[in-house]
Chains A and B, each alone.
Chain A
């Protein structure tokens, strides 16, 4: 007879080595290149913003769970991911309290009110960003170009006609049409400049990231490194970033715009690899994921071209989040050996 207790549990009795905590920390790891690029281009104070956001997210999650008398889950890494993602979508000029407030809002109203990890319909980090954008628009649109990155502007050919448009697009953030041309450009993102007709920004600069923009979204190189990491370790499905980016490129081309510029500018790459791939708020079926990416792409290009803001990644993904349950339902895969019911 057995002298000691043994575990009796349902099969299978082997489990893969991948667990949810591990996935979350791998995502944090994938965000390291973009974070390093942010610090490189926008200086050491960037670190304060990143940690304020992560710290506030974790603290808020802990407080919520204590308040609701639920088990503490801060070690699962998901709050850290939310905090870091949010911080990387903010302009480098924001005061340090802003990411903290945004992260707290993201955790409370983007996640915990729905029941915590796994139950939120919207990407919490984007909820945080949308909240900050609506509440402190001037802070959220206060862009700067990294030091020494405006060389192209001084020799740009399109400046004269574009200055007014550029300043118009960033109204509120600058002193108006009287400022020097380069100064006007210095407080506009590439997408805002594009709206004003300035398209001279060298691709290499867009690719490397020494341009104006949110902390984590400027360097395509750093984002692609992280995205590649996610793809290689099968942490994300290729379908969403590929269909998202492909749709934007295709429609940019059809609308007579420069597809490469649209891929590299703004938060598209960051959103496509890190936001639109959030498991919880996106479809689980392969086909649903394709449609999700296509929808995000269509909305992004529509907002960029016709919307009130120069950038539309955040709202595109949030809007598509609402379609996730339907997409899942409409795209149930055909089962092995499935036979059509009569009729």
Chain B
């Protein structure tokens, strides 16, 4: 019997050795943080503070607006110095609250610590998820409490925590599972109770045996399975994770809840566990600062809103003029061109590639080798999808399942002609979705 996994996929080099053994360091407070109101999928939060207000760490400074939204909390104590558009990872300017530190890190009064899970109802837990400011910390930043508002008639019997960390380079979840196993399990139990799910699974790629051991110790006696998974990309993609853990296939276009599953990242669970234990909402997270372009790669706990320039400086700066700077992992993370961007709830790392590592691809015509289709975990034919999208043959693209693409990037990774398959497919998807909205 092999390890649990999904079909197809790829085995890129992991590069995790750069930081896997490094315990998480607490980064000293920056003098100011920039907290975008839109750090999550959905409507941006609405400010509750004004310029000049004094705020304390953990104080709610913006309220969720609408159904798919989460509140935002001050990540340091100090003074609100600006509420204005600031550079955002999306490439645009986006409204943000800027706080200048007073150096005290004074914690907001009235936070409730040591909540008793036994006494909390599922409804209360859902409210707490929201009040904790939780949005998926694996990268997508989807509001957590929304996942637990199951549509009528749907029930979840499995809560799966995603600890695969299949993206190369990243080790933040790895370290979190070792160092914060108790919080992960507390959060998982709370998630299970909120959904009324009897089973919990934590899926971890087998290249993190120390994390598996730590989680197993913390899970002793609980109805939770710590499941080692085959090391393969994209093992941590939601549908692949569900398939590996339960054998269930989420229907195309469907949600995990359709097969009775809710998936959260291990870091999100740990943040919830910490909130229940300490009362402090989501104001910091662990990121992996790594790559050949960084002098001393680290796993760092940083406050939300800390700017990349501060993070890079704390890691000793660049080794040489950087070639490419990526937020998150190299397979799905966006490349950025400025360092005044803040760490947000979904930022899992900063990867700096050197100029030598940045391939200037010589794009050749598609030779129809079929490597993209052979690797695509969704069994799509990316060469045709890309071609249809590129030539605006959108009905054909849809017929070939372009909307089933989860943008894992495998097709572009394997393409020997270095064609921008994923980029074309993304463009095609956007066009189709935009047309649907209109029509």
A residues bordering B, Cβ < 8 Å?
Answer: 1-4, 6-16, 18-20, 22-23, 73, 76, 115-119, 237, 279-280, 282, 284-286, 289, 328, 332-339
A285 contacts across to B, CB distance below 8 A = 370, 373, 381
Instruction: Determine if B325 and A6 form an interchain contact, defined as CB atoms under 8 angstroms apart.
Output: yes
Cα distance A280–B413 in the bound complex, in angstroms: 20
Q: A7-B335, A14-B12 are in contact. Are A336 and B368 (CB under 8 A)?
A: no
Instruction: Determine if B324 and A6 form an interchain contact, defined as CB atoms under 8 angstroms apart.
Output: yes
B87 nearest CB across to chain A (Å):
11
Question: Interface residues of A: mostly helix, strand, loop or mixed?
Answer: loop
Cα distance A175–B168 in the bound complex, in angstroms: 70
A332 contacts across to B, CB distance below 8 A = 381, 400
Cα distance A137–B374 in the bound complex, in angstroms: 42
Instruction: Determine if A335 and B401 form an interchain contact, defined as CB atoms under 8 angstroms apart.
Output: yes
B3 nearest CB across to chain A (Å):
19
Instruction: Determine if A11 and B334 form an interchain contact, defined as CB atoms under 8 angstroms apart.
Output: yes
Instruction: Determine if A1 and B340 form an interchain contact, defined as CB atoms under 8 angstroms apart.
Output: yes
B78 within 8 A of A: no
B333 contacts across to A, CB distance below 8 A = 11, 13
Please give me the 3 A-B residue pairs with the lowest Cβ-Cβ distance, nearest first.
A118-B365, A12-B409, A284-B370
Cα distance A12–B411 in the bound complex, in angstroms: 9
Instruction: Determine if B369 and A8 form an interchain contact, defined as CB atoms under 8 angstroms apart.
Output: no
Question: Interface residues of B: mostly helix, strand, loop or mixed?
Answer: loop
What 20 new A-B contacts, CB under 8 Å, besides A19-B416, A285-B381?
A1-B340, A2-B338, A4-B321, A11-B330, A11-B335, A11-B409, A12-B330, A13-B330, A18-B416, A117-B364, A118-B364, A279-B367, A280-B368, A284-B368, A284-B373, A335-B378, A335-B380, A336-B379, A336-B404, A339-B253
Which A-chain residue is minimally distant from B331 (CB atoms)?
A12
B139 nearest CB across to chain A (Å):
11
Which B-chain residue is minimally distant from A10 (CB atoms)?
B423
Which A-chain residue is minimally distant from B380 (CB atoms)?
A335
Q: Which of A2, A6, A332 has the most CB of B within 10 A?
A: A6
Instruction: Determine if A11 and B366 form an interchain contact, defined as CB atoms under 8 angstroms apart.
Output: no
B247 within 8 A of A: no
B175 within 8 A of A: no
B127 within 8 A of A: no
Cα distance A73–B332 in the bound complex, in angstroms: 31
B359 contacts across to A, CB distance below 8 A = 15
Instruction: Determine if A13 and B364 form an interchain contact, defined as CB atoms under 8 angstroms apart.
Output: no
B426 contacts across to A, CB distance below 8 A = 10
Instruction: Determine if A279 and B370 form an interchain contact, defined as CB atoms under 8 angstroms apart.
Output: yes
Q: A14-B12, A285-B373, A336-B249 are in contact. Are A7 and B412 (CB under 8 A)?
A: no
Cα distance A115–B292 in the bound complex, in angstroms: 41
B323 within 8 A of A: yes
Indicate which residue in B12, B339, B384 contacts A16 across the interface (CB closer than 8 Å): B12
B residues bordering A, Cβ < 8 Å?
Answer: 7, 10, 12-13, 168, 239, 249-254, 309, 321-326, 330-340, 351, 353, 358-359, 361, 364-371, 373-374, 377-381, 383-384, 400-401, 404, 409-410, 412-418, 420, 422-423, 426
B369 contacts across to A, CB distance below 8 A = 23, 279, 284
Instruction: Determine if A20 and B251 form an interchain contact, defined as CB atoms under 8 angstroms apart.
Output: no
Indicate which residue in A16, A118, A282, A335 contacts B414 across the interface (CB closer than 8 Å): A16
A284 contacts across to B, CB distance below 8 A = 368-370, 373, 381, 383-384
A30 nearest CB across to chain B (Å):
15
Instruction: Determine if A336 and B252 form an interchain contact, defined as CB atoms under 8 angstroms apart.
Output: yes
Instruction: Determine if A20 and B331 form an interchain contact, defined as CB atoms under 8 angstroms apart.
Output: no
A7 contacts across to B, CB distance below 8 A = 323-324, 335, 358
B310 nearest CB across to chain A (Å):
12
Which A-chain residue is minimally distant from B254 (CB atoms)?
A337
Instruction: Determine if A20 and B334 form an interchain contact, defined as CB atoms under 8 angstroms apart.
Output: no
Instruction: Determine if A14 and B339 form an interchain contact, defined as CB atoms under 8 angstroms apart.
Output: no
Instruction: Determine if A20 and B330 form an interchain contact, defined as CB atoms under 8 angstroms apart.
Output: no
B279 nearest CB across to chain A (Å):
37
Q: A13-B324, A336-B378, A339-B251 are in contact. Are A20 and B367 (CB under 8 A)?
A: yes
Instruction: Determine if A11 and B322 form an interchain contact, defined as CB atoms under 8 angstroms apart.
Output: no
Q: A15-B359, A336-B249, A337-B254 are in contact. Are A4 and B322 (CB under 8 A)?
A: yes
A10 contacts across to B, CB distance below 8 A = 335, 412, 420, 422-423, 426
B413 contacts across to A, CB distance below 8 A = 12, 14-16
Which A-chain residue is minimally distant from B364 (CB atoms)?
A20
Indicate which residue in A20, A286, A333, A337 contacts B239 across the interface (CB closer than 8 Å): A337
Q: A10-B420, A336-B378 are in contact. Are A116 and B340 (CB under 8 A)?
A: no
Selected A-B contacts with CB under 8 Å, 10 pairs = A6-B322, A8-B337, A11-B331, A11-B422, A12-B422, A13-B330, A14-B13, A117-B365, A336-B7, A337-B239
A339 contacts across to B, CB distance below 8 A = 251-254
Q: A7-B335, A279-B369, A338-B401 are in contact. Are A19 and B422 (CB under 8 A)?
A: no
Cα distance A337–B366 in the bound complex, in angstroms: 27
Q: A11-B335, A337-B252 are in contact. Are A118 and B324 (CB under 8 A)?
A: no
